[in-house]
Structure 1
Amino acid sequence: MSRHLSGERLAERSFVARLREVLADQGHPLTAAEYERLIELCGDTHRASGSPSVQLAQLREELTELKQAQDLSGRRLAAVEEETAGLLQELFQAR
């Protein structure tokens, strides 16, 4: 922990996620805004790193996150389209 806090070691998202769990278990939960800020800072430090492998790992994490968001958006859109189709069918039946 001290190496992370001193900047000697970069925290990965998994570390930040586990830290969130530990703090919550100890009765000191992070707010959603605090957690998102830690994730943002984590990404900033990785992008600013002089290490290509660290930067590459950060880009991979960001790509994975974007793919997950895209998948979620696609599922939500499909659900909305399905609901719209159902409502249209009800409208035609009501006419």
Structure 2
Amino acid sequence: MNETLRTKIADQFRNTSLGFSRIKRNLNMIHSSDVETEKILRKIILLTTLNNVETKGKNYYFKCFEYNAILTINSHTLTIITARKIIKNDPVSEGKITNKRIC
């Protein structure tokens, strides 16, 4: 990940109405319009430091502590797949362990 790619993602990401509804619900922004949500998502992408952006397979994971949010973005379509809050003291959302099951 570099600054140019991060800026491109912030400028070109997209989503559907259903996707925006899901993102708003997950980030507790249900009263925001799609336009307001898009602006906030753009801020989250641009405020995420490059060392807090992970590439795993075909997805980028933007972890923004200022907005307490993690965005999952498809690297090919630039569609925001999911958004969720960072849960404090949760090793999975803080990136300390993966969310694979241990049997």
TM-score normalized with structure 2 length: 0.30
Larger radius of gyration: 1
Structure number with greater CO (CA < 8 Å, separation at least 6) is 2
Q: Which has more strand, going by share of residues?
A: 2
